[in-house]
Amino acid sequence: MEPYHLRVLRWLDPRRRVFGEELSRRLGLNASAVSKSMGWLRSQGYLIAGGYPGGYRRDPGSEFLYPGEVAPDLKTRVFGKRINYFSELDSTNALARELASAGAPEGEVVVADSQNRGRGRLDRVWISPPGVNIYFSLILRPQMPMERVAQISLLAALALARSCSRVWSISPGLKWPNDVFLGGKKAAGILSEAQGDGGGVRFVICGVGINVNLDPGDLPPEVRERATSVSAFLGHPVPRPQLFRAFLEDFEEIYYDFLIRGLSPFVPEWNRLSILEGKRIRVSGERELEGVVVGLDPSGALRLNDQEGKPRIILAGDVSLITADKEGKCC
Ligand code: BTN
């Protein structure tokens, strides 16, 4: 993006109209440059109401994740200090993997406004339309054995829950292993993929997909009933850069603490937010199993008591609730 378009963008405010003259004065631009900027920003998908002479106002929820929009207010030391932005990619995880293989440092991020081959867990498709959601992959280089990589996804989900409650005072639920739920429906998922190096981790790609301003009615019917977005839950549009920054800040804090102290200190908070705690579930995967969830164990595996009341540990698999929860919602 040309620097002066970005400077114009930063002066546009969702809460009030800004007059062209004010923009010209503050930014040292003539009227034609201001109007050219508005045209360019609109062509990029920004929703800007008004014009000359009544002033311009940016619609809330139409912000993009350009590095220039995200970086200025980002309070991190490492995460997101370099952001590679694309309007469309096949999958941010795929490009992040290439960059990490070529030596990209911890904290570097790949963001896309849309993905044409977004991937979820268990080889599922991650629906990734443009202009509404957040899709990104964060490169991490933790020194740890490969068996612990799944813990990073658990913590990324926890970080996102913390961000939502810090910024919007809401309490998302967590569904093992790494889904974030709002009002009984899935709003975000995490796909962490790692490459090893002689038993240890060489790098981890932590891929995060968040439904932010998506209208769940735009999803295919088979997904619609089970999915939501942050804005659908809150009832108003959500600025994507604000949520993205909050997540990078919260996850950075959690991650560096985790590298020193391990997963255990986070287990009680995770269990408190878990939508499965105390619920009867079915685990599908290599082994089919039913039981009542007891919580995370210190390694991040799911503890449950099976139908005979025998304690079981689930390391991987897909989990579904058998009984409707208190609100009658199910996943
Ligand atoms: C899941 O819940 O199944 C995980 C979904 C992960 C989706 C994100 S979007 C950004 C990154 N790129 C991908 O292709 N997938 C992850």
Residue 42's CATH number: 1.10.10.10
Q: How far is the CA of 235 from the centre of ligand 1 (A)?
A: 24
Q: Which residues, 6 or more positions from 71, have their beta carbon under 8 angstroms from its beta carbon?
A: 80, 83
Element (H, E) at 207: strand 200-210
**Gap between the Cα atoms of 2 and 123, Å rounded:** 38
Same domain, 107 and 30: no
In whole angstroms, give the CA distance from residue 29 to residue 44: 20
pTM of the shown model: 0.86
**294 and 314 co-located in one domain:** yes
Same domain, 265 and 304: no
| Tokens encoding 4 | 């002066």
Which DSSP letter does residue 119 get? B
DSSP symbols for 1-37: --HHHHHHHHH--SSS-B-HHHHHHHHT--HHHHHHH
Neighbours of 295 (CB within 10 A): 17
Burial, 78: exposed, middle or buried (Cβ in 10 Å; 0-12, 13-18, 19+)?
Answer: middle
Q: Assess contact for 132 and 214: CB atoms under 8 A.
A: yes
Whole-number Å distance, alpha carbon 130 to ligand 1 midpoint, is 15
Domain count, the chain: 3
Which of 126, 193, 240 gets mutated to test ligand 1 (max ligand atoms within 8 A of its CB)?
126
Gap from CA of 204 to ligand 1 centroid (Å): 14
CA 173 to ligand 1 centroid distance, Å: 18
Per-residue pLDDT of the chain (331 residues; tens, 9 = 90+): 556 887 888 788 777 899 999 999 999 999 999 999 898 888 776 788 887 778 898 876 677 898 888 998 899 999 999 999 998 999 999 999 999 999 999 999 999 999 999 999 988 999 999 989 999 999 999 999 999 999 999 999 999 999 999 999 999 999 999 999 999 999 999 999 999 988 899 999 999 999 999 999 999 998 999 999 999 999 988 889 999 999 999 999 999 999 999 999 999 999 999 999 999 999 987 778 999 999 999 999 999 999 999 999 999 888 999 865 444 344 4
Distance (Å, whole) CA 248 – CA 109: 10
Separation of CA 25 and ligand 1 centre (Å):
44
Of 85, 208, 211, the one to substitute when testing ligand 1's pocket (max ligand atoms within 8 A of C-beta) is 208
Q: Are residues 198 and 258 in the same domain?
A: yes
Q: What is the pLDDT of residue 290?
A: 94
Domain that holds residue 324: 276-329
Residues 36, 171 share a domain: no
Q: What are phi and psi of 133, to 5 degrees?
A: -115, -175
Show which of 272, 288, 319 is a domain's final residue. Answer: 272
Cα–Cα distance measured from residue 88 to residue 60, given in angstroms and rounded to the nearest whole number:
22
Query: Residues enclosing ligand 1, CB less than 6 A?
Result: 91-93, 115, 118-121, 124, 126, 135-137, 179, 189-191, 207-209
Residue 58: the pLDDT is 83
